[in-house]
Chain A
Amino acid sequence: DGGITQSPKYLFRKEGQNVTLSCEQNLNHDAMYWYRQDPGQGLRLIYYSQIVNDFQKGDIAEGYSVSREKKESFPLTVTSAQKNPTAFYLCASTDRGYDGYTFGSGTRLTVV
């Protein structure tokens, strides 16, 4: 079945450590997105990529980095510069915006 897979489901980060969240899709979608979700807030855009080897910053890109070396993969690195990384992270993809997004099941990141 086609879909979008995020891993791991739960991730724990120590202070000062970089961690990478995986997002893989087999839908042949061109565009991929990373959102952050905090309690009481909606989804906030971190980064997005409309084509391989290209990506743009979203509203809250500071402290995060991404790469898009393959069409099916869009990993997100949470760097030590991100001072409050504890959140639920969602990856999404779309072929065309008018079809809406397909979301992954999310990664819960916690700083310990």
Chain B
Amino acid sequence: GESVGLHLPTLSVQEGDNSIINCAYSNSASDYFIWYKQESGKGPQFIIDIRSNMDKRQGQRVTVLLNKTVKHLSLQIAATQPGDSAVYFCAENPMNSGNTPLVFGKGTRLSVIA
């Protein structure tokens, strides 16, 4: 498959453990944040999003936490599985506008050890 990031930060976790992927964003005016998962050779897939009026949102096995004070976003994956191995990107909407292009972080590679 294609490599989407040869020099990305890497997080290695044991299968069944919880994973926490962090992201620092740059614009204090950003009001919408998204986490994407990208498997090798594929396009990014939406995982979960959160608006700035929330500090936590839960999905199926995933939780996103938002700390606006320090401009920090995290993605928690419960009971990590081999299929979770991928590159994870955070994205922010910096201008409080529906169609303004999202700004993407550089990504973190998650490797799950079976």
Residues of A within 8 A of B (CB): 6, 30-31, 33, 35, 37, 39-43, 45, 48, 50, 58, 88, 90, 92, 94, 96-98, 100-106, 108
Contact = CB atoms under 8 A, between A and B. Distances in A.
Nearest to A103: B43
B23 to A, nearest CB: 11
B4 A45 contact: no
A97 B43 contact: no
Q: Is the interface of B mostly helix, strand, loop or mixed?
A: loop
B45 interface: yes
B102 to A, nearest CB: 7
Nearest to A10: B2
Given A90-B44, A98-B93, A106-B43, A42 B99 contact: no
A35 B91 CA distance: 13
A97 B99 contact: yes
A37 B89 CA distance: 12
B99 A105 contact: no
Contacts of B99: 30-31, 50, 94, 96-97
B4 A88 contact: yes
A106 B41 contact: yes
A58 B5 contact: no
A42 B89 contact: yes
A45 B99 CA distance: 14
Given A42-B105, A94-B99, A97-B97, A105 B8 contact: no
Contact of B98 (A40, A90, A98): A98
